[in-house]
Amino acid sequence: MGKGSRETLTKLELQIMQVLWREGTCNVNAVLAGMNQPLAYTTVQTMLNILEKKGKVKRKLRGRAFEYTAIVTEARATGNAVRDLVDRMFGGSSEELVMSLIKSRQIDAKTIAELTRRLEEERSDQ
């Protein structure tokens, strides 16, 4: 398993992490309740154990059940996913990612100008 596969979350791992980011510390039942799809208890438990092995969550025994807390922030997970996408699909070139978004009409010049303005505002606030 390469470094990238440890950093990037699978779709199901991401859904579980989103529950932990939104709700905070949860046991398996609380994660299940926060999911928008029906899953088996054992599936969620297995995924939480995988996330713990990957260093994305920590667990603590409370009574007879483990409670899980996200260690990795949503911002870091997003950054890792974007970096992985750029590396795998665009040869490490973020410019090629932006060009792909423009060519496929998923972003236009007006939006880029607005994002540039917002970025400049953030920089001037720091």
- Do residues 52 and 101 touch, judged by C-beta distance below 8 A? no
Task: State the DSSP H helix or E strand holding residue 70, giving kind and residue range, or none if neither.
Answer: strand 65-70
- Residue 2's pLDDT band, with cuts at 50, 70 and 90, is very low
Assess whether 62 and 110 both reside in one domain: no
pLDDT at 24 over 80: yes
User: Is residue 81 in some structural domain?
Assistant: no
Assess whether 16 and 66 both reside in one domain: yes
Per-residue pLDDT, 1:
39
Q: What is the pTM of this model?
A: 0.77
- Do residues 69 and 30 touch, judged by C-beta distance below 8 A? no
Assess whether 49 and 97 both reside in one domain: no
Residue 5 in tokens: 């596969």
pLDDT at 111 over 60: yes
User: Is residue 77 in some structural domain?
Assistant: no
Assess whether 7 and 65 both reside in one domain: yes
pLDDT at 18 over 90: yes
- The boundaries of the domain holding residue 106 are 93-126
User: Is residue 30 in some structural domain?
Assistant: yes
